[in-house]
Structure 1
Amino acid sequence: MDVRRRWNSAYDMISRFLEMQVAIFATLKSKELGKERESELKSFHDDDFSVAEEVIQLLKPFKDKTTLLCSEKSPTISIILPLHNKLLDKLCEQNADTPTVRSMKNIMFKDLKERFARIEHTLHIVSALDPRFKMLPFSSGNERSAVYSDIVLEVFRVQNIIKVKREKENKDAELDDVEVPSEPPLPSLSSLSDSPAVSSVKMRVKADVSSTSCGDCMESVLHSFLDDVYITEIEPPKSPNVIAEQQVNEYRSAQAIPLQENPLSWWKENEFKFPLVSKLARAYLCIPATSVPSERVFSTAGEILSAQRARLKPKHCKSLKESGKVGLKVNHEGSQNLMIFNT
């Protein structure tokens, strides 16, 4: 009835069947079908409709959440674990469940529980890097501590990678340096001291110094303008591990954002505040939760390119894809005409 990983069409079919059940019954009972086909038709009972309604009610959360995971404009891998835990809660047995629903729940719960077992810790890290779910409300205290400890190690690793990359760039820059021709030497001070211009400047400076006794004035000006930036002690340099831990703790203590906001926009605004953590978040949050976005690209390309339009240039294919939804219309002669529906 369905491809194993694409069961949504079955859900849509049963849902539409329930909506159109009156029309379906009227059609099955119509005389136009003929008495000779009555033996081939199977009638539906009330229990069949009850089971269909229960199945639809059970599968609706899965339908909504799989549709959400197919989004292309926001990160999706970070919401896998929150949705996964909510779906497990939905699959808990209730006293009012029928045997059919109870059996479905048991099978689905067992499959869903084991589905992300191998990458569950990675999904915890990704959810923690999403400012919407960084509190990890679906995890225990020990799990949260372990997750953020691993994030500190990941940030430390990123810091080392950046350090090695910069050292390599500096080494390459030194090798690429070209010897610059030397400039002619400047005249010595002894040769300039006897010039009339220098003598006049010395006389003016002496006159200014002698006419002003503003040592106290200068000190007050320095205090008034530079007192807040005057450094008396130099802070000792921090180790890379301490820097990583400090950034992670600051990110963890920052306020979470609402669910409707885009975490990528938040990281773009705060990347200078958390430079190392932001690089780690960028590496993880770019991963899509499903293969649907990439499959859409190939599906659209398959509608644009065909045996009848095999000579389209790449730039034209790109223009057609970006202009809107592409569809095909077959005329009565069997030839295909390209139709573009703007979104």
Structure 2
Amino acid sequence: MAIHTSPAFNSLHSTKGAIMKIRLLTLWIARSPQRCQDWKEVSPNKKVSYDVDTRWNSTYIMIQDALRLQTELGQFVRIHPEVQALQLIDDEWSTLQQVAKILKPFWDHTNSVSKACPTIVESLPIYWSLDDLLNDVRNAEGDFEDVNIEIRNAVERGIRKMNKFARKMDDNLLYYVASVLDPRIKSSLIVSQMSEQDSGLIVSQPFVSREVDHLRPPGMSETMWKTLRKVQPSKEVSLSDIDKYLDSPPVNWSHHMIGDADAEWVLKWWKANAFNFPLMAKAARDYLPIPSAEVGIEREFSNARDVLGLRRHRLNAETMRWLMLLRGKSQA
């Protein structure tokens, strides 16, 4: 990859963004063993990772590397005047810092979903927190009051793309149901993020009160059943556990209680309160175990490719299944 200091080159690339300059400089170094050696003399142990421009986490890593090696990059360009056009000015370094600040939450959420593999109950808070982040950038509010107009315009296009996929959530109530089934949240998150009409429609669809069965429960004597029917208030008898759950305030949690930080807190809460909310507990058993991402399945396919080597193309499906099961058990 040859880069020359011709006027055409300077005119073309001086108007490129800071990210493009880092990409070109990183690629230019990597394409020559001699330039790689020159870079090692400037930075013996660290280098800038070349990114995949369609993956934000990859770009975030490249930007973070560049920010950490800002001094080294400047020194390298001074040694190689043929790429002087790729020298970043102060405003461009400031732009990289702003972009890194925006991309960091995406990086953090991706890592949390990939490593911890949380259940679907955390999906909606993640999506809406990112939505709030992008809106703050677009409107230059909160921590992004000083963001430049180019980044705001790029985020505006990103919001349109995100809304395209977010609208697909309206066809699948799983995310909303899982959020309501978190007793610390219930319907409060949906009500705060959506209009009154939309939030009321979403909450009412999956959680419709049922008629309470007034038949005598199995195992209870007829005398006890009649006695309970007399002493229990009629309103309590007819009130569905769905109504009791949704009408009661969200469960308080504390920073100081170790148990409240448990990753399985929601599942344990429903196990402990299944008797009080039997209908809702059934919904919790159905919805809450759903993973928030398909990372587990993707890993299985990656592991399967390792098992299905070049000399194992004739393995039948049953043998492959047993090999994957044994591999998974050995890694557990």
Specify the TM-score bucket, using the shorter chain as the normaliser.
Answer: 0.5 to 0.7
Matched, 1:63 2:107: yes
Q: 2:251 aligns with which of 233, 251, 256?
A: 256
Structure 2 contact 106–130 (Cα < 8 Å) conserved? yes
Matched, 1:152 2:207: yes
Cα deviation, residue 128, structure 1: 0.7
CA distance in 2, matches of 1:105, 1:63: 16
Matched, 1:50 2:94: yes
AA in 2 matched with 1:270: N
Alignment match, 1:276 = 279
CA distance in 2, matches of 1:246, 1:97: 51
Structure 1 contact 247–274 (Cα < 8 Å) conserved? yes
The one-character-per-residue Cα deviations of 1:67-93 (angstroms, maximum 9, x if unpaired) are: 233355531x23232222222222222
CA distance in 2, matches of 1:124, 1:149: 11
Cα deviation, residue 301, structure 1: 2.8
AA in 1 matched with 2:284: A
Cα deviation, residue 255, structure 1: 4.5
The one-character-per-residue Cα deviations of 1:126-169 (angstroms, maximum 9, x if unpaired) are: 2112223214235255555444432333x759x99xxxxxxxxx
Structure 1 contact 51–100 (Cα < 8 Å) conserved? no
Cα deviation, residue 281, structure 1: 2.2
RMSD: 3.8
Cα deviation, residue 113, structure 1: 3.1
Q: 1:321 aligns with which of 306, 315, 328?
A: 328
AA in 1 matched with 2:328: K
Matched, 1:130 2:182: yes
Alignment match, 1:222 = none
Q: 2:124 aligns with which of 81, 87, 104?
A: 81
Alignment match, 1:168 = none
Alignment match, 1:247 = 241
Matched, 1:115 2:115: no
Report 1 or 2 for greater relative contact order, CA contacts < 8 Å, sequence distance ≥ 6: 1
For the structure 1 residues 80 and 49, does the alpha-carbon distance in structure 2 shift closer, same or farther, using more than 3 Å as the test? same
CA distance in 2, matches of 1:119, 1:289: 13
CA distance in 1, matches of 2:165, 2:74: 40
For the structure 1 residues 3 and 43, does the alpha-carbon distance in structure 2 shift closer, same or farther, using more than 3 Å as the test? closer
Alignment match, 1:100 = 150
For the structure 1 residues 89 and 317, does the alpha-carbon distance in structure 2 shift closer, same or farther, using more than 3 Å as the test? closer
Cα deviation, residue 64, structure 1: 1.5
Matches within 5 A, 1:1-343: 2=52, 4=54, 6-30=55-79, 38-39=81-82, 42-46=85-89, 47-70=91-114, 72-75=116-119, 77-91=120-134, 92=136, 93-94=139-140, 95-120=145-170, 122=173, 123-140=175-192, 142-153=197-208, 156=210, 232=227, 234=229, 246-252=240-246, 253=248, 255-256=250-251, 258=253, 260-261=261-262, 262=264, 263-307=266-310, 315=322, 317-324=324-331
For the structure 1 residues 132 and 233, does the alpha-carbon distance in structure 2 shift closer, same or farther, using more than 3 Å as the test? closer
Cα deviation, residue 55, structure 1: 0.8
For the structure 1 residues 233 and 20, does the alpha-carbon distance in structure 2 shift closer, same or farther, using more than 3 Å as the test? closer
Cα deviation, residue 250, structure 1: 2.3
Which 4+ residue blocks in structure 1 deviate beyond 6 angstroms?
A: 309-313
CA distance in 1, matches of 2:309, 2:101: 41
For the structure 1 residues 254 and 102, does the alpha-carbon distance in structure 2 shift closer, same or farther, using more than 3 Å as the test? closer
CA distance in 1, matches of 2:250, 2:243: 12
AA in 1 matched with 2:103: L
CA distance in 1, matches of 2:129, 2:165: 15
CA distance in 1, matches of 2:94, 2:210: 57
Structure 1 contact 127–136 (Cα < 8 Å) conserved? no
Unaligned runs of 5+ in 1: 161-228, 237-241, 325-342
Structure 1 contact 126–284 (Cα < 8 Å) conserved? yes
Unaligned runs of 5+ in 2: 1-50, 214-223, 232-236, 254-259
Larger gyration radius, structure 1 or structure 2:
1
Identical positions, percent = 26
The one-character-per-residue Cα deviations of 1:156-202 (angstroms, maximum 9, x if unpaired) are: 59x99xxxxxxxxxxxxxxxxxxxxxxxxxxxxxxxxxxxxxxxxxx
CA distance in 2, matches of 1:255, 1:297: 38
Q: What is the TM-score with the length of structure 2 in the denominator?
A: 0.60
Cα deviation, residue 274, structure 1: 1.9
CA distance in 2, matches of 1:295, 1:110: 28
CA distance in 2, matches of 1:274, 1:79: 22
AA in 2 matched with 1:318: L
Structure 1 contact 136–144 (Cα < 8 Å) conserved? no
- SS of 2:191's partner is coil
